[in-house]
Amino acid sequence: MTGLGSRPNAEQLAEFRDRVRAHIAEHAPPFRAREGHRAPENAEQETQLRAWFAGLFEAGFVGADWPIEYGGRADHHPLHDRIVSEEILRARAPRPVDQVNLAAHVLLHFGSEDQKRALLPPIRRSEHVWCQLLSEPDAGSDIAAVRSRGVQRDDGSWVIDGQKTWITDAHWADMGLALIRTDPTSSRHHGLSVFAVPLSAPGVEVRPIRTIGDAIEINEVFLSGVVVDADGLIGEAGQGWSIIMAGLDFERFGIGGNVILLELLIADLVTVARNALVDGIPALSHADIRQEVADLAVEAEVAKAFIDDHVERLIIGAEQPGDGSIAKLSFAETYHRLSAYGAELAAAVDVGADAEAQHAKERLRECWLWSRAYTVSGGSSEMMRNILAKRRLMLPSG
């Protein structure tokens, strides 16, 4: 990643935000993002999404923190990333695929120069969408329990067999970042390796899983005798646990950085509460409903405050162990509570003919149906608490 440039002043940040807004207004796909419906639903949407993501890279709004030789910008600052994320979310435009960011992070930190030259440019052109081949049946968030096996052949290539599940975006991804056990005598965190696996390779089978929101977002992936060339191994054999942990810490903070979604949820909740009548008066005029909305708004502000504080500490190099897990946990749990209450209220009231209130009701329902995914993806809330107990509180294991 590039080093930190000088901190932009308020005027420079405002100018950058204006440029981001203008780019979104001109280039965003002609459909709004929906929670739980983030993958393309047809070939036309996929083409539009890939063009949109490639355009964000080309404009220097995504991937600006990469080394300059791989497309990064010398004037990049973390505050720019925050602004891009905020404006994409507030515009309800499709946000870049999290798994692509994780793959790029892993490649930049652990990939060979040949791998970087071969795999990073297709990411920037959006020719390669990546997924994470981590979770497995009977393992869930405990990725140390990986059983998929990789055996190296005499020519240096590897043969991979196993099953992965709950794999986001695998049905339209081009590449997979796979965690595989390459030492048959190992257990838990030892003997794991990371591979870049083309999903078009013989032996890869993707079976979509339809979610409760009636969308295809996640999948099962079967690996049956999949041959990966020697240059598909990322880092060293047996280094897989540290590679994936570094990537997941990066991803978890990215999930927490979606805290602006909480702001949008509060806005939808207030819209419904203002337009719905309960006992003949607006729902928001009832003290109990107003109090609940206020409490949830405070929770959202607490999550946002942590992100703001972490970004400032990141800028000066004062981040602490477990910050990514705190960000992820705070966002995911608050999102679930907020959307659950919003969906419950929306289902119980009639907002009349107001179009925006109707849209708000539907968004609250979709967010609630998707909210449990946030408490699991990138590591479950239970795993996040376990990580914090060990890394932040330094509590003993067992």
> Is the pLDDT at 331 greater than 70, yes or no?
yes
Angle between helix axes 240-256 and 323-348 (nearest 10 degrees) is: 50
The pLDDT assigned to 59 comes to: 97
Quickly state the pLDDT bin for 255 (edges 50, 70, 90).
low
Higher pLDDT, 26 or 323: 26
Q: What value does the CA radius of gyration of the chain take, rounded to a whole number of Å?
A: 22
The pLDDT assigned to 380 comes to: 83
With a pLDDT cut of 90, the percent of the chain lying above it is: 72
Quickly state the pLDDT bin for 324 (edges 50, 70, 90).
confident
The pLDDT assigned to 4 comes to: 59
The pLDDT assigned to 161 comes to: 98
* Most trustworthy range by pLDDT among 78-82, 292-296, 392-396: 292-296
Domains of the chain, earliest start first: 10-96 (no CATH), 130-237 (2.40.110.10), 249-392 (1.20.140.10)
CB-CB neighbours of 34 under 10 Å: 17
For the stretch 200-228, what's the b/e string if a residue is b when 16 or more beta carbons lie within 10 angstroms of its beta carbon?
Answer: ebeebebebeebebebbbbbbbebeebeb
The pLDDT assigned to 222 comes to: 98
CB-CB neighbours of 388 under 10 Å: 17
Residue 46 CA to residue 65 CA, distance in Å, equals: 26
Residue among 301, 294, 322, 298 at smallest CA distance from 310:
322
pLDDT in tens, 374-385: 898 777 888 889
Residue 77 CA to residue 3 CA, distance in Å, equals: 8
pLDDT in tens, 159-214: 999 999 999 999 999 999 999 999 988 888 899 999 999 999 999 999 999 999 99
Contact 316, 243 (CB under 8 A): no
Beta bridge partners of 234: 194
HEC sequence for the chain: CCCCCCCCCHHHHHHHHHHHHHHHHHHCCCCCCCCCCCCCCCHHHHHHHHHHHHHHHHCCCCCCCCCHHHCCCCCCCHHHHHHHHHHHHHCCCCCCCHHHHHHHHHHHHHCCHHHHHHHHHHHHCCCCCEEEECCCCCCCCCHHHCCCEEEECCCCCEEEEEEECCCCCCCCCCEEEEEEECCCCCCCCCCEEEEEEECCCCCEEEEEEECCCCCEEEEEEEEEEEEECHHHEECCCCCHHHHHHHHHHHHHHHHHHHHHHHHHHHHHHHHHHHHCEECCEEHHHCHHHHHHHHHHHHHHHHHHHHHHHHHHHHHCCCCCCCHHHHHHHHHHHHHHHHHHHHHHHHHHCCCCCCHHHHHHHHHHHHHHHHHHHHCCCCCCHHHHHHHHHHHCCCCCCC
The pLDDT assigned to 1 comes to: 56
Angstrom distances, CA of residue 180 to CA of 91, 153, 315: 39, 15, 34
In a 10 Å sphere around its CB, with 0-12 CB exposed, 13-18 middle and 19+ buried, how is residue 355 labelled? exposed
Candidates 35, 136, 251, 366; catalytic one = 251
Contact 194, 106 (CB under 8 A): yes
Residue 3 CA to residue 140 CA, distance in Å, equals: 36
pLDDT in tens, 56-71: 999 999 999 999 999 9
Report the mean per-residue pLDDT for the chain. Answer: 91
Q: Choose the weakest-confidence range: 240-249, 292-301, 387-396.
A: 240-249
pLDDT in tens, 268-321: 999 999 999 999 999 999 999 999 999 999 999 998 888 788 777 777 878 788
344 is catalytic: no
Higher pLDDT, 322 or 112: 112
In a 10 Å sphere around its CB, with 0-12 CB exposed, 13-18 middle and 19+ buried, how is residue 348 labelled? exposed
Residue 200 CA to residue 188 CA, distance in Å, equals: 29
Residue 18 CA to residue 83 CA, distance in Å, equals: 10
Quickly state the pLDDT bin for 256 (edges 50, 70, 90).
low
Quickly state the pLDDT bin for 398 (edges 50, 70, 90).
low
Residue 250 CA to residue 304 CA, distance in Å, equals: 18
The pLDDT assigned to 141 comes to: 65
